[in-house]
Amino acid sequence: MKKTFKLHVEGKHPDRLLEAIKHEVRKYVKRERRKTLPNGVDYWAFECKFGVTADVAEAVRLGEITKKMDEVALAGGDSFYIEILAVHGIRKPREEGDDSIDDDEDLND
């Protein structure tokens, strides 16, 4: 998905429009995750970019996109650009002796 979304459309409330955009992005991600994985691939990863325009778009994590949308809407922006591309994700095997829990974390909280 490579798309520029407008936040101000005549006859539509900006808050409802923002929610519709978020819904469209979530729907796209769900649709991509449902696709059959090729052989040798463990999961679908997503390369994402977000910016006011396509020229100034920066790489962001998938989980940060809705926060970025809210920031642009609160700042009064007219539009923003989103690029989400599904890529093959391959898990790396753990090395022997590598614990999945860091010593710094306190799990008793």
Computed over every residue of the chain, the mean pLDDT equals 89
- Per-residue pLDDT of 63-79, as tens digits, reads 999 999 999 999 999 99
How many angstroms separate the CA atoms of 44 and 46, rounded? 7
CA distances from 97 to 22, 92, 100, 102 (A): 42, 15, 10, 12
Closest CA to 89 of 32, 40, 49: 40
How many angstroms separate the CA atoms of 34 and 79, rounded? 29
Q: In this model, does residue 8 exceed pLDDT 80? A: yes
How many alpha carbons lie under 13 Å from residue 97 in its C-beta half-sphere?
Answer: 0
